[in-house]
Amino acid sequence: MNPQDVNAPPPSAIPPAPAAPPPRRSRWVGSLLALVLVGLVGGAAWYLVQRSGGEQGAGPGRGMPGGGRPMVTVGDAVARRAELPVVIDALGTVIPATTVTLRPQVSGMLTQVLFTEGQMVKKGQVLAQIDPRPFEQALMQAQGTRQRDEAQLENARLTLERYRTLLSQDSIARQDVDTQAALVKQLEGTVMTDKAQEGTARLNLDYTRITSPATGRIGLRTVDAGNYVTSGDATGIATITQVAPIDVQFSVPQDRVGDVRAAQGAAPTLAVTALDRARKAELDKGLFSTLDNQVDTTTGTVKAKARFENAAGALFPNQFVNVQLLLRNVPAVVVPVTAVRTGANGDYVYVINEDRTVSLRKVKRGQATVGLMAIAEGLREGERVVTEGGDRLQDGMAVQLPGAPAAARGPRPGASGPRSGASGPRGGASGEGQQRRQRPAQNP
């Protein structure tokens, strides 16, 4: 082996030979592509900046005729003259006109229950039966006592007539006549007592037939047949509530008592409407009855009552309902509630002109309902107002109505500037790139 080969470094330790420098044409191509990319990015950035500046400058004129911006689409309504109702809204409770607890008047064994729970019953209808036999015997005893005492009274009256005849003939002492007359009066009192006892026995016998004292709906029974009932039972047998007609009790603010009394003086009857808890469905219509005679100091309200026929049975006892008491109808120019807005200077509306531009106009509110509002001042009948989309409007802006053709708009001012400016850098960058592509061809 050659000693020089032993001292030679291993092949992996030998550094690689330096790479050959790239050709001059490749360097020109890379530089050209980099310049083209920088030019494109710079042109796009300049165009976006100019476009953003143009939009900010056109902000105050947005929606103006010839402004070139998309117009705001709004909802509209026409101011019209209508009878606006003046109502008092309150929360009421349905109260039965009559509530009766069916209690037995005599004590005894309950032999029959002649009603079904929840049944509509009529006044005088037999609902239950108590064993009548003890009361029949008591009635017979009272009748016998009365007949006996009546016979004694009749005999005493005949004796009195004889004594008076003998007294006229001076054949008997006057004391005997007076004694007999007193006996007749005593027996008359006894017979009267007997008649009262007989009537009581007859009444108790009638009480064994428990009848309905009112017309209405009967509730759940608390006693079944076969139980012993007493006249002092507080729970009774069942409860009857009169549901047709039925009353609704509600509260009126003390500040509106004067309006209610004035409305009562102007009209013989005031209409009252009962609504469900969601205020969507109308349950029944009735008439205002009366106000209470004092103000509740804890709430500052006065209780009121209205009567409803409740023919359909929509009102149920102890049900919570919304009540609307109609005081009067006021003629006024009305618009939807959403058309009226409130700003720093008060209430206003946007009026739509003939050229489809809007004008801000101050108005004065009047009476209002859930959906309509009366305009006391500032608006005429037949004018068109904005109901939706008013938050995006300014005085003098043009609007687009739903379903109406879009108004003709002119070219946007300055639109050609950004476009031409944007094309300039792009064209310059491309021209410079073409020149740089040609240079390597001319100088290889």
pLDDT of 422: 37
Q: How far apart are CA 375 and CA 79, in angstroms?
A: 9
Phi, psi of 317 (to 5 degrees): -55, 135
Considering the domain boundaries, does residue 427 fall inside one?
A: yes
425 lies in which domain range? 25-54+414-444
pLDDT of 259: 92
276 in the same domain as 316? yes
Helix axes 24-57, 416-442, angle to 10 degrees: 170
157 in the same domain as 174? yes
Kind of pairing between the strands at 346-352 and 358-362: antiparallel
Of 314, 332, 350, the residue at which a domain comes to its end is 332
CATH code for the domain in which residue 392 is found: 2.40.420.20
pLDDT of 86: 87
CATH code for the domain in which residue 252 is found: 2.40.30.170
Considering the domain boundaries, does residue 156 fall inside one?
A: yes
Instruction: Name every residue whose Cβ is closer than 8 Å to that of residue 355 and which is 6 or more positions away in sequence.
Output: 65, 398
Considering the domain boundaries, does residue 123 fall inside one?
A: no
430 in the same domain as 380? no
Is residue 347 classed exposed, middle or buried when 0-12, 13-18 and 19+ CB atoms within 10 A define those classes? Answer: middle
Residue 318, sorted as left (phi over 0), alpha (psi -120 to 50) or beta, turns out to be left
34 in the same domain as 93? no
Considering the domain boundaries, does residue 125 fall inside one?
A: no
Report how many domains make up the chain: 4
Averages of pLDDT over each 10 residues, the chain, 444 residues: 48 50 61 77 71 48 49 89 90 94 94 94 95 96 96 96 92 93 96 96 95 93 93 89 94 93 90 92 95 94 96 93 92 92 91 92 87 90 91 88 60 40 39 41 37
Considering the domain boundaries, does residue 3 fall inside one?
A: no
Token code pair at residue 300: 């500052």
CATH code for the domain in which residue 183 is found: 1.10.287
Rg of the chain (C-alpha set): 52
Q: How many CB atoms lie within 10 A of CB 60?
A: 11
Considering the domain boundaries, does residue 119 fall inside one?
A: no
Of 185, 207, 229, the residue at which a domain comes to its end is 207
Considering the domain boundaries, does residue 109 fall inside one?
A: no
Considering the domain boundaries, does residue 5 fall inside one?
A: no
203 in the same domain as 167? yes
pLDDT of 314: 93
322 in the same domain as 258? yes
pLDDT of 412: 40
pLDDT of 411: 42
pTM for this prediction: 0.60
> Interior CA angle at 267 toward 261 and 268, to 5°?
95
